Amino acid sequence: MTRGETWSHRLLSDARRSSEYPDSLRVVDGSIESEPYRTITIVADPLGRFPRARAGEVGLDEGLALADAVRATERERSIVAIVDLPGQAFGRREEAAGIHLSLAAAADAYATERRSGRQIFALLVGKAISGGFLAHGLQAGWIGALEDPGVEVHVMPAASVARVTRSSPQEVARVATVVPATARDVRTFAEFGAIDELFAVRDAGDPTHAEIATVREAIARARAAALGLRAPVERLNAPAAGTRSLAREVRRRIAEAW
């Protein structure tokens, strides 16, 4: 069982998986401290009809299914996007058929529901790469993450960065130590103000009851404070005042010019 599957089931009490969605999508309803939630995560489906989306990527089917699962959630339920994915499906057929529309539908569903008053949370338990993270997780008002080496956040897989830049994997890793914006570890990502809370775990793929309870309590606190309703732009504000000062200044000047 992948990290995403493990956390999507074990995070909720009285977890019940919905059978209405593709095998690549895990949709589970349950509760946290007596409040109703739905967890959604993408998983690998070796029998998926699109080969480029069989290893847990967000593909054409997944993007549209995500949008449906988000919009079809019962009104009183908050949503927790469990993020454990290697990116979007890279393929000619996907591009020709309009994968950008599929991923946009998922992102729009999350944003629309959040703006309409549904609290959206995200929990990074594994990789959060590229367009996959944009479609599934980045629109959450509150984002938590496991403090684990297997949690990786970036716009491209490391191997792809090495190929595009014609660098060795070792050089890519070295640059990440001196240019934070190129780093992949979750702690660096948190320093940019993108993570609300980090959770220490002994084994991210097999969390203890105490570790799960800690995450549940954090989500419950975030829900009580309505943090799941925040817009992503707020990550540029107080939490990132020190680490993203240049970005804030650029946005200020653009606003003045316009």
Can you give the CATH number for the domain in which 61 is found? Answer: 3.90.226.10
**Helix, strand, coil proportions of the chain in percent (round to 5)?**
45, 20, 35
pLDDT on residue 238: 58
pLDDT on residue 48: 93
pLDDT on residue 237: 66
Alpha-carbon gap, residue 42 to 134, rounded angstroms? 13
Partnered with residue 80 across adjacent β-strands are 39, 121
Q: Would you say residue 254 lies in a domain? A: no
If we measure between CA atoms, which residue out of 186, 184, 218 comes closest to residue 204? 186
Q: Would you say residue 242 lies in a domain? A: no
Q: Would you say residue 35 lies in a domain? A: yes
Residues of the domain holding 186: 3-230
Q: Which residues, 6 or more positions from 16, have their beta carbon under 8 angstroms from its beta carbon?
A: 28, 29, 30
Q: Would you say residue 136 lies in a domain? A: yes
User: Strands 152-154, 197-200: parallel, antiparallel or unpaired by DSSP?
Assistant: unpaired
Q: Would you say residue 167 lies in a domain? A: yes
pLDDT on residue 3: 95
pLDDT on residue 198: 97
Alpha-carbon gap, residue 196 to 227, rounded angstroms? 10
pLDDT on residue 81: 98
**Alpha helices, H only, the chain:** 3-10, 60-71, 92-97, 99-115, 130-135, 158-165, 169-178, 186-191, 209-224, 245-257
Q: Would you say residue 252 lies in a domain? A: no
Q: Would you say residue 72 lies in a domain? A: yes
Q: Which two tokens stand for residue 184?
A: 């992949």
pLDDT in tens, the chain (258 residues): 899 999 999 999 999 999 999 999 999 999 999 999 999 999 999 999 999 999 999 999 999 999 999 999 999 999 999 999 999 998 889 999 999 999 999 999 999 999 999 999 999 999 999 999 999 999 999 999 999 999 999 877 777 778 888 888 888 888 877 777 777 889 888 888 889 999 999 999 999 999 999 999 999 999 999 999 999 888 766 555 566 677 778 888 999 998
Question: For the chain, how many structural domains are there in total?
Answer: 1
Q: Which two tokens stand for residue 14?
A: 């009285």
Q: Would you say residue 241 lies in a domain? A: no
pTM listed for this prediction: 0.90
Q: Which residues, 6 or more positions from 53, have their beta carbon under 8 angstroms from its beta carbon?
A: 24, 45, 59, 60, 61, 62, 89, 91, 94
**Alpha helices, H only, 46-91:** 60-71
